[in-house]
Amino acid sequence: MAVYTEVSDEALRAFLAGYELGELVAFRGIAEGVENSNYALKTTAGDFILTLYEKRVDPTELPWFLGLMRHLAARGLACPEPVAGRDGEALRELAGRPAAICTFLPGVWPRRPSVAHCGPLGTALAALHAAGEGFSAERPNALGPQGWAPLLGRCRPNGDTVQPGLCAELDGHLESILAAWPAGLPRGQIHADLFPDNVFFLEEARGKPRVSGLIDFYFACTDILAYDVAICLNAWCFEPDLSFNVTKARALLAGYNAARPMSAAEMEALPVLCRGAALRFLLTRLYDWTNTPPGALVTRKDPLEYLRRLRFHAQAKGVSAYGV
């Protein structure tokens, strides 16, 4: 639920005067996204999304994110395209925050992803990876393997209050994941947070879902492409009871491989990449869980859901566990 910064109507009108977007028609806060403030903006030129970047986003990184989105959109990926103002600049300031207007994407994110979503999701992820080629600026993954030990260290003071022995168990996982972390796999621009609420779908004639948009590129970075697949396996293929749906995994991997066939080395690395991805979301959730002040206007997400995922992946005997 995200509107952290209120925008006065005067400030909004002054801001819009910097664009060639016609007249303001409507402006409503959107209750989605957790990092930034998002507004649905309608002008006589159409529908847009206005984002005010809040303090968890480093303003010096915004040109990279907006540049990547522009690059991907120009290559035909259905993602928000930053709209430049009259002066050619897309990154501007509003209400004391960095701000940008992007194009609006149609579609609905799936509250309960089904097998039918997972194939198109995999294909869309492969399309994202292909479209990212040629965007040469690199952004290191701050939440990648090098970041996990320090993050676990910051969780240590309160981590075991969530579950006794949790930090020791995570120490063990971290050590074995880092020891097995693959080198030499294909790298590129990855989304790194492609959860269901970041993927819009529309239905085709016979009720078949197709991806209409990928959003929220503010964790995107330069890393192992197959790690993005592993993040999606974690985010899309577990049921609400945290059982692993191998049919969804098979559909996701088939959709991805149809558009960008993974090498044998990439496929073989999936179990450890999945363990790493589970640990990454476990650690940030654990940190937030133990450091969110009571009364804060955010919904904390249960870190232990990712411990269950991590344990599943740790028990996987090779990529066959994922239906391949």
Site residues, a second copy (CB under 8 A): 1-3, 6-10, 12-13, 23-32, 40, 42, 47, 104-112, 200-203, 294-297, 299
The helix/strand/coil state of 286 is helix
Question: Which CB, 184 or 207, lies closer to a second copy?
Answer: 207
CB of residue 93 to a second copy, shortest distance in Å? 17
CB of residue 44 to a second copy, shortest distance in Å? 10
- Asked if 79 contacts 72 with a C-beta cutoff of 8 angstroms, the reply is yes
Distance, CA of 190 to CA of 220 (rounded, Å): 6
CB of residue 106 to a second copy, shortest distance in Å? 5
Question: Which CB, 39 or 322, lies closer to a second copy?
Answer: 39
CB of residue 45 to a second copy, shortest distance in Å? 14
Question: Which CB, 46 or 59, lies closer to a second copy?
Answer: 46
CB of residue 297 to a second copy, shortest distance in Å? 6
CB of residue 146 to a second copy, shortest distance in Å? 34
Partners of residue 299 on adjacent β-strands: none
- Asked if 287 contacts 154 with a C-beta cutoff of 8 angstroms, the reply is yes
Q: For 163-189, where are the alpha helices, taking DSSP H only?
A: 166-180
Question: Which CB, 95 or 259, lies closer to a second copy?
Answer: 95
CB of residue 208 to a second copy, shortest distance in Å? 13
Question: Which CB, 35 or 61, lies closer to a second copy?
Answer: 35
The helix/strand/coil state of 187 is strand
Question: Which CB, 32 or 171, lies closer to a second copy?
Answer: 32
Question: Hey, what long-range contacts does 148-154 have (CB within 8 A, 24 or more apart)?
Answer: 148/174, 148/177, 148/178, 148/276, 148/279, 148/280, 148/283, 149/174, 149/178, 151/283, 151/284, 151/287, 152/283, 154/287
Q: Which amino acid is at 178?
A: L
Question: Which CB, 107 or 271, lies closer to a second copy?
Answer: 107
- Residue indicated by tokens 């991907």: 72
b/e map 183-195, b = 16+ CB within 10 Å: eebeebbbbbbbb
